[in-house]
Amino acid sequence: MAERAAGRYAPSPSGDLHLGNLRTALLAWLFARSTGRRFLMRVEDLDRVRPGAEQRQLADLAALGLDWDGPVVRQSERLDLYGHAIDRLRAQGRTYECFCTRREIQQAASAPHGPMGSYPGTCRTLTTADRARLRAEGRPAALRLRADITEYEIVDELHGVYRGLVDDVVLRRGDGLPAYNLAVVVDDADQHIDQVVRGDDLLPSTPRQAYLAALLGLPAPRYAHVPLVLNAAGQRLAKRDGSVTLADRTALGDTVEDVVSALSCSLGYSARTPAHLLRQFDPAVLPRRPSTFDENGLLQPDGCP
């Protein structure tokens, strides 16, 4: 029997979740549960990992009232899957080694000949002698995708049709670990995840991922990129913005129900538990603009109900 389709939340264990992270997790749970999907938890631990962060993140999500199906999956335990995907792309002639440093990439990407933020293909045409010389200099080699298009179109539940940049994304980093764009595509397909709900700051990277999925013969999920929570200065909320974690809020005297109420308010609802919010939830009426956090709580742009 085929596994039922799923949504997911996939935090990186680099620190405690702030209210913006919790709001996105709540939305991912609501989207999945309201459509009869399983809801999966995946820890994306291929980058910086802080001791104890995963345990605190999962504890906060459970305390909020979110549940998930099956065991937590960790990317660090799935390296063989990513290696097999890279092997398939290599066999198609769609990879090449890249010896560029981060500074060189930033300088090249800001030059007037290429789209801002794109990799200009500096190492695409290196000869065998060039690669040997760079290895002799001690430069580590990342592995990049040899893309044959520059744009790709996806459909987002909140943003509609979106056409974005595609360039030669990194598949395997210079340290030998798989890169985020590859890992997330492989994971979503392997876990039967057909609904991805995440912050709209990640929308520009989605065409790259959908294109990569197509090259691998994998189905692209349905996307919903949701508005972020911003600080009073209009910047993406971060832990430096004050009392923004669940532990911070409870230390100030808020209950978990108070936090859920504030998150619900920012979505245009009045509810004190995720289960109560689920009974009201309708993606069609979600705010399309970001919410703002101050020390008094989360505020929807037009005010809470």
Which residue numbers belong to the known binding site for L-glutamate? Answer: 8-12, 44, 180, 198
In DSSP terms, 298 is beta-bridged to 293
Q: Are strands 229-230 and 222-226 parallel, antiparallel or unpaired?
A: unpaired
Collapsed DSSP state (helix, strand, coil) of residue 8: strand
Q: Which residues are documented as binding site for Zn(2+)?
A: 98, 100, 119, 123
Q: Which of 74, 192, 236, 239 is catalytic?
A: 239
Q: Which residues contact 251 (CB under 8 A, 6 or more apart)?
A: 243
Q: Detail the residues annotated as belonging to a binding site.
A: 8-12, 44, 98, 100, 119, 123, 180, 198, 239
List binding-site positions for ATP.
239
Q: How does DSSP assign 119-186, residue by residue?
A: ---TTTT--HHHHHHHHHTT---EEEE--S-SEEEEEETTTEEEEEE----EEE-TTSPBPHHHHHHH
Is 114 a catalytic site residue? no
Are the C-beta atoms of 167 and 150 separated by less than 8 Å?
yes
Token reading at 40: 């999966």
Q: Which residues are CB-contacts of 302 (< 8 A; sequence separation ≥ 6)?
A: none
List beta partners, residue 42: 73
Active site residues: 239
